[in-house]
């Protein structure tokens, strides 16, 4: 049975540990200690060499019946900023951040639910198939931990990623693809008062480019954003270099391509108008996946959600997660709603009830496939 007090205590303990991307080691160590205490096989992989985190991904194995499929449960250890000094407060059954930080329910709610489920499996001697649990690093930086898992050694049948928007009961069966676009404008510095005509102004070029761009909700399937502009060195110098970073997402690969081409064209037009150079680089952030209700991984999740008395909702999300990487690698993975609200903000929260329901869904998935 779920021990709600223990579950909340674990969540609060985990939330208080700073684990912004690339600094997940303290949290990894806490998880390792907890697993060692329970006598569970826990290892750290070598992803850190590629990722640049201070630890690798944490991989836990719970061996079980060989006749049952191998299940993988996955959550990420890293958080966005500001994630240092989190002081969770519980008010009316809802956990929030008391300070001026995120809460980190994204994705520590997933971790806490998995730890509670492991504890219950152990305490109650519940039979199960082979279970693999992975806590990844640097998900928020483009699923870098997931991209560097040891796929040769990872033999799993169905993967459940606990990192989804919306309440427990949501099954994210479809996501958009994301491309990241970066532009570096290179002009010429000059004294802004004495000889501005000798300079080539990159801030104006970037501003012009951005002003021409279709951004925000471009159409029903597509969004675009410019999220970073950095340029210039001083108020009295014509700015010689300006960096711009943005992204586009779409459920349609074709529309994504069109939007990225449009942004690239705008960068080039802006540069031409102000006589500066621009280097544009585009890379894929994550690739869409599209699962059907008949796909086994979806039907298992649906059955588990029904069994605990909730209504499974198959939803599409513009958000990416480690599930996108796994599907791209040929591993059938679905992302489940974990009940977090307003992630990536200081208003982030999660209801204790959602943490409990999430744990119940996990246990039910394990029971169905044992
Ligand atoms: Zn997340």
Out of 18, 24, 78, 201, the active site residue is 78
User: In terms of domains, do 156 and 227 share one?
Assistant: no
Active site residue 139: yes
Q: For residue 279, what is the domain's CATH number?
A: 3.30.70.360
Residue 148 and residue 215 in one domain: no
Q: How far is CA 151 from CA 99, 162, 313, 356, in A?
A: 39, 19, 30, 31
pLDDT for 241 equals 98
pLDDT of the residue at 370: 83
Q: How far is the CA of 212 from the centre of ligand 1 (A)?
A: 32
Q: Which residues contact 14 (CB under 8 A, 6 or more apart)?
A: 27, 30, 104, 108, 111, 112
Q: How far is 266 from 275, CA to CA, in rounded Å? A: 14
For 73, residues 6+ apart whose C-beta sits below 8 A from its C-beta are 114, 117, 131, 132, 133, 134, 159, 160, 162, 362
Please check whether residues 240 and 324 belong to one and the same domain: no
Answer left, alpha or beta for residue 223, where phi above 0 means left and psi between -120 and 50 means alpha: beta
- Specify whether 44 is located in the same domain as 154: yes
Cis peptide before 82 (omega within 30 of 0): yes
Looking at residue 99, its pLDDT comes to 80
Residue by residue, pLDDT tens for the chain (370 residues) are: 899 999 999 999 999 999 999 999 999 999 999 999 999 999 999 999 999 999 999 999 999 999 999 999 999 999 999 999 999 999 999 999 998 999 999 999 999 999 999 999 999 999 999 999 999 999 999 999 999 999 999 999 999 999 998 999 999 999 999 999 999 999 999 999 999 999 999 999 999 999 999 999 999 999 999 999 999 999 999 999 999 999 999 999 999 999 999 999 999 999 999 999 999 999 999 999 999 999 999 999 999 999 999 999 999 999 899 999 999 999 999 999 999 999 999 999 999 999 999 999 999 999 998 8
| C-alpha 109 to ligand 1 mean position (Å) | 10
321 and 352, same domain (yes or no): yes
Asked if the peptide bond before residue 342 counts as cis, ω within 30 degrees of 0, the response is no
84 and 128 in a single domain? The answer is: yes
Distance from residue 172's CA to the centre of ligand 1 (Å): 13
Determine the pLDDT at residue 93: 97
Q: Which domain holds residue 246?
A: 177-286
Please check whether residues 35 and 150 belong to one and the same domain.
yes
**What pLDDT does 57 receive?**
98
Domain limit, last residue, from 253, 268, 286: 286
Tell me how far the alpha carbon of residue 141 lies from the centroid of ligand 1, in angstroms: 10
Cβ–Cβ contacts within 10 Å for residue 336, how many?
Answer: 29
Please state, in angstroms and rounded to a whole number, the distance separating the CA atoms of residues 183 and 100. 32
Contact residues for 6 (Cβ-Cβ < 8 A; gap 6+):
116, 119
**Number of Cβ atoms within 10 Å of the Cβ of 294:** 7
User: How open is the CA angle 224-229-232, to the nearest 5 degrees?
Assistant: 160
Number of domain units in the chain: 2
Residues 270 and 296 in one domain: no
Same domain, 126 and 257: no
CATH of the domain at 301: 3.40.630.10
**C-alpha of residue 230 to centroid of ligand 1, in Å:** 26
Same domain, 66 and 208: no
- Whole-number pLDDT of residue 114: 98
- Between the CA of 267 and the centroid of ligand 1 the distance, in Å, is 31
Last residue of a domain, one of 286, 311, 344: 286
**Same domain flag for 105 and 12:** yes
| 130 in the same domain as 29 | yes
Q: Which of 233, 252, 286 is the last residue of a domain?
A: 286
Among the listed residues 139, 140, 322, 341, the single catalytic one is 139
Say how many Å lie between the CA of residue 163 and the centre of ligand 1.
5
């Amino acid at each position: 049975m779920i021990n709600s007090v223990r579950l909340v205590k674990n969540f609060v303990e985990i939330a208080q540990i700073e684990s912004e991307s690339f600094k997940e080691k303290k949290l990894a160590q806490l998880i390792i200690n907890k697993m060692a205490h329970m006598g569970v096989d826990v290892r750290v992989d070598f992803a850190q060499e590629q990722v640049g985190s201070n630890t690798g991904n944490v991989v836990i194995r719970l061996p079980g019946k060989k006749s049952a499929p191998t299940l993988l449960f996955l959550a990420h250890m890293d958080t966005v900023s500001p994630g240092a000094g989190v002081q969770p407060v519980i008010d009316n059954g809802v956990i929030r951040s008391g300070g001026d930080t995120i809460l980190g329910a994204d994705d520590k709610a997933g971790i806490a639910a998995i730890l509670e489920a492991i504890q219950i499996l152990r305490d109650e001697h519940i039979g199960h198939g082979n279970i693999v649990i992975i806590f990844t690093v640097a998900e928020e930086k483009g699923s870098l931990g997931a991209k560097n898992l040891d796929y040769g050694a990872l033999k799993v049948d169905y993967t459940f990623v606990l990192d989804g928007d919306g309440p427990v009961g949501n099954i994210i069966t479809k996501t958009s693809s994301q491309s990241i676009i970066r532009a570096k404008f290179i002009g010429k510095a000059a004294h802004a008062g004495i000889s501005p005509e000798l300079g080539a102004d990159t801030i104006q070029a970037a501003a012009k480019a951005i002003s021409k761009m279709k951004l925000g909700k471009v159409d029903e399937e597509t969004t675009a954003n410019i999220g970073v502009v950095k340029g210039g060195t001083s108020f009295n110098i014509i700015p010689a270099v300006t960096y711009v970073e943005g992204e586009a997402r779409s459920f349609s690969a074709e529309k994504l391509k069109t939007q990225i081409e449009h942004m690239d064209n705008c960068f080039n037009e802006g540069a031409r108008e102000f006589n500066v150079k621009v280097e544009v680089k585009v890379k894929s952030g994550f690739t869409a996946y599209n699962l059907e209700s008949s796909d086994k991984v979806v039907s298992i999740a649906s059955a588990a959600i029904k069994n605990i008395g909730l209504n499974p909702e198959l939803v599409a999300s513009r958000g990416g997660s480690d599930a996108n990487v796994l599907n791209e690698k040929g591993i059938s993975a679905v992302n489940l709603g974990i009940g977090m609200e307003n992630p990536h903000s200081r208003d982030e929260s999660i209801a204790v009830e959602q943490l409990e329901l999430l744990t119940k869904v996990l246990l039910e998935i394990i029971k169905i496939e044992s």
